[in-house]
Chain A
Amino acid sequence: MSEKLVVDPIRCTGHGLCAELLPEWIALDDWGYPMIDQRPVAPELREHARNAVRTCPALALRLMQANPP
């Protein structure tokens, strides 16, 4: 089962912790808000992705089941 990262743009306030914890999948735009790779998270990064979700101070990040391609 594969999962992808999704940000709730209303909740997100641009702390940027997610991009520090998971730079392989999340980059910040010119204003400090996360731009997230829409592909399913690579298996070896899944634990880091969960950590990023747990650490988000705004509770704006979550992992959801990716639709099969």
Chain B
Amino acid sequence: MTEPRLLAGLAADVPMALADHQAVHGGLPPSDGLLAAVEAAGLRGRGGAAFPTVVKLATAGRGTRPVVVINGAEGEPMSAKDRVLLTRMPHLVLDGALVSAQAIGAREIIVAAPRGMLLGLGSAVRERRGSDPGRVRWRLEGSPDTFVGGEETALLAHLEGRPALPRTRPPLPAQRGLRGRPTLVQNVETLAQVALIARYGPAWFREVGTPDHPGTTLVSLSGAVAQPGVYEVPLGFPIGALAALAGGALEPIRALLVGGYFGAWIGGDGEGLTLDNASLGGFGAAVGAGVVVLLGASSCPVAEVAALADWLSDASAGQCGPCVHGLAALSDLLRRVESGQTVPGDSTRLSRWTAMVRGRGACSHPDGAARMLASASRVFARELAEHARRGHSPSCRIVPTLHLPRADTGAA
């Protein structure tokens, strides 16, 4: 196991104080050469889309009066990594935002996080007063608690006082974002990684991980494991060895959901696969925001998938017809399969509709749902066919693995 980086010095269940943070990592160096270092490190965004971080930095830096937004809206219910960083390692995240702001000439940083974390984050910001180089204004704002509210244009709409709904792009937020200003919206973990690269450099960053997918990543492990939680592993880590980090699997594993509710199902326990996009790409999966759910063999995959399809349909922002109607139709279809009440033509509708909704929304919500459902139809073909014939069986009544909190409406 490699040394922890993001979680270095993690101790008691309290936020790490500034002095302790600096004792672990030293002071924050100046931002000179940050863009070149981030580019050489090959850092990609850790919010899910894996967008090259340097491109966002460079784009926002070309505009006038840019703003930096820390995106702490972790809408994915099975993800907890951003919460861990914001509540335990706040200064690493704030360092990453500060050095990014300095590198692109931004004087304002908005910390957008769930309301319950703002008190702690406010203390961390106050702790830094007087010690931060340069002049930057910090602002704390509550983030939306919806699934799509973490999408960057939805977050910006929320910060502008409008409902947290995605908008059509272009322009990208880095071109025209908050109130028309170029806005660097970065995921919490991405900024923490930037803070490490600023200190230790790109060569150090690449010492772990794969050449195409370097560095470490935080993984939110849940499902049939003894100790669900957030673990730091190098990218390229054997997926079959993840369960051992979390105290071992509680039962044989039927499948993994990798990448969260936007991710893909992979049959079996992941033996032989590694946690990086090259390895996962063959399964239509990606590391995404680092969510891995282990579905035990005693679970009913059809019930899980049908409930998730339902939840994703409810989580639609409700703006684009193909997403609203397509996801609702897919959800109804899965419910018919689950209960053994399919109608003629249903057998071809799943693949027809997952293909039909792809790329048809202003944001990637329909694409993510389609990816998850397409993988489910491959991995759970046998169980889906059984359910379509016979409906519920006793095994379908067990406690669901996927956490599906009651979805609010898209409005913030």
A residues neighboring B (CB under 8 Å):
8-10, 12-14, 29-33, 35
> Could you tell me the distance between the alpha carbons of A33 and B327 in the complex, rounded to whole angstroms?
14
| B286-320 near A? 1/0 per residue, CB < 8 Å | 00000000000000000000000000000000011
Do A9 and B167 contact each other (CB < 8 Å), given the known contacts A29-B356, A31-B329, A35-B356? Answer: no
**A10 lies within 8 A of B329 (CB):** no
Judged by a CB distance under 8 angstroms, whether B168 is at the interface is: yes
**B167 lies within 8 A of A33 (CB):** no
**B168 lies within 8 A of A9 (CB):** yes
**B356 lies within 8 A of A30 (CB):** yes
Instruction: Identify which of A10, A13, A35 contacts B167 (C-beta below 8 A).
Output: A10
Do A9 and B321 contact each other (CB < 8 Å), given the known contacts A30-B329, A31-B326, A33-B360? Answer: yes
**A31 lies within 8 A of B322 (CB):** yes
| B324-361 near A? 1/0 per residue, CB < 8 Å | 01100100000000000000000000001100100011
Overall SS of chain B's interface: helix
**A9 lies within 8 A of B319 (CB):** yes
Q: A8 contacts which chain B residues (CB < 8 A)?
A: 168, 362
Question: Number of contact residues on B: which range applies?
Answer: 10 to 19
> Could you tell me the distance between the alpha carbons of A68 and B384 in the complex, rounded to whole angstroms?
44
**A33 lies within 8 A of B321 (CB):** yes
Sample 27 A-B pairs with CB under 8 A, ordered by A number.
A8-B362, A9-B168, A9-B319, A9-B321, A9-B360, A9-B362, A10-B167, A10-B168, A10-B319, A10-B362, A12-B320, A12-B321, A14-B321, A29-B326, A29-B356, A29-B360, A30-B325, A30-B329, A30-B353, A30-B356, A31-B322, A31-B326, A33-B321, A33-B325, A33-B360, A35-B356, A35-B360
Q: A9 contacts which chain B residues (CB < 8 A)?
A: 168, 319-323, 360-362
> Could you tell me the distance between the alpha carbons of A12 and B323 in the complex, rounded to whole angstroms?
12
Q: A10 contacts which chain B residues (CB < 8 A)?
A: 167-168, 319-320, 362
CB-CB nearest in chain A for B322: A33
The minimal Cβ–Cβ distance linking B323 to chain A, given in whole angstroms, is 8
Do A31 and B321 contact each other (CB < 8 Å), given the known contacts A9-B360, A9-B361? Answer: yes
Q: B167 contacts which chain A residues (CB < 8 A)?
A: 10
The minimal Cβ–Cβ distance linking A23 to chain B, given in whole angstroms, is 18
> Could you tell me the distance between the alpha carbons of A1 and B14 in the complex, rounded to whole angstroms?
61
The minimal Cβ–Cβ distance linking A59 to chain B, given in whole angstroms, is 13
> Could you tell me the distance between the alpha carbons of A35 and B321 in the complex, rounded to whole angstroms?
12
Chain A CB within 10 Å — which of B320, B352, B353 has the most?
Answer: B320
